[in-house]
């Protein structure tokens, strides 16, 4: 009788360690967890089912990724390791949809960094961004006028937030806003873990004539802390071919403009 509480505690500790490893690395396989923890594959699979049922991880194509929430958000370096090939396709697709836009808002995030890398060099553009790494990368390009928002810098994403950033946005007008999110559902819309980030995103959306949402397939079905927009606020939702049939059907049934690349 004394063994059962102890076994439960050990199992909980192991699952916590597995969650920590996934969050520290951004993306892992069950075999990597098996090797690190020296437990059976069946034990790993059982633990992953528990963690997934609790909404803490997501399994897709043999990989495990952390699910963001109000208590946890991935860092920029971690985002670079999650679905990088898909994000590269998304970035190219977004740039192909710029149209005649001359004043562009580019959100913070790794996919947005890839979009910035692919901006055309044969036309003049004005780019506004809250992302320090994006502004630094673009500043040297002679055809671009680059403006960065002022405010507090979030160390994990290198994005600028808070009242100064929102107030600055309220004075600007954009032809196109390119926006990302940490989670997307039909019930709760586009969400992010940080209220300060949500306020910046909402202000950029409000000041833009056109809006494109871009997000890798694993964002769909996730709900984080703060809603900043609804899917029908965007002229186009761009995601990867990896998006599940369930979510594809849900978005199409809601008459949302979806592009899978």
pLDDT at 70 (0 to 100): 55
Higher-pLDDT residue of 73 and 51 is: 51
Instruction: Give the three-state DSSP class for 61.
Output: coil
Q: How far apart are CA 128 and CA 107, in angstroms?
A: 9
Q: How far apart are CA 31 and CA 186, in angstroms?
A: 34
pLDDT at 75 (0 to 100): 62
**pLDDT-derived band at 72, boundaries 50, 70, 90:** low
**pLDDT-derived band at 9, boundaries 50, 70, 90:** very low
pTM for this prediction:
0.78
**pLDDT-derived band at 4, boundaries 50, 70, 90:** very low
Residue 33 tokens read as: 């967890």
> Would you say how long the chain is, in residues?
261
Give the DSSP per-residue string, 146-199: EEE--SEEETTTTEEESHHHHHHHTT--EEEEEE--SEEETTTEEEES-HHHHH
Q: Which domains does the chain possess?
A: 3-67 (1.10.10.10), 77-260 (3.40.50.1360)
Reported as a single tens digit per residue, the pLDDT across 131-181 is 999 999 999 999 999 999 999 999 888 899 999 999 999 999 999 999 999
pLDDT of 6 > 50? The answer is no
Contact 40, 48 (CB under 8 A): no
Mean pLDDT of the chain: 89
Contact 112, 201 (CB under 8 A): no
- The secondary structure element, H or E, covering residue 205 is helix 195-206
pLDDT at 68 (0 to 100): 67
pLDDT of 62 > 90? The answer is no
List the Cα angle 47/223/217 in 5-degree steps. 80
């Amino acid at each position: 009788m004394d063994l059962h509480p102890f076994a439960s505690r050990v199992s909980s500790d192991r699952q916590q360690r597995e969650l920590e490893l996934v969050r520290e690395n951004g993306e892992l396989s069950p075999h990597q967890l098996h090797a690190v923890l020296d437990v059976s594959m069946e034990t790993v699979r059982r633990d992953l089912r528990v963690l997934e049922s609790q909404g803490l991880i997501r399994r897709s194509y043999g990989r495990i990724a952390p699910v963001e929430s109000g208590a946890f958000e991935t860092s920029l370096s971690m985002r670079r390791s999650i679905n990088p090939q898909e994000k590269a396709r998304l970035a190219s697709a977004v740039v192909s949809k710029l149209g005649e836009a001359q004043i562009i808002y580019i959100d913070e995030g790794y996919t947005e960094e890839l979009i910035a890398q692919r901006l055309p060099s044969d036309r003049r553009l004005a780019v506004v961004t809250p992302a320090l790494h994006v502004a630094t990368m673009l500043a040297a390009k002679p055809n671009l006028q680059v403006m960065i928002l002022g405010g507090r810098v979030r160390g994990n994403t290198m994005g600028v937030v808070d009242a100064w950033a929102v107030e600055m946005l309220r004075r600007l007008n954009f032809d196109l806003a390119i926006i990302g999110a940490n989670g997307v559902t039909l019930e709760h819309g586009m969400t992010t873990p940080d209220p300060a980030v949500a306020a910046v995103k909402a202000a950029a959306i409000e000041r833009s004539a056109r809006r494109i949402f871009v997000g890798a397939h694993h964002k769909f079905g996730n709900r984080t802390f703060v809603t900043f927009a609804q899917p029908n606020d965007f002229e186009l939702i761009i995601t990867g071919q990896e998006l599940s049939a369930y979510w594809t059907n849900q978005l199409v049934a809601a008459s949302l403009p979806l592009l899978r690349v």
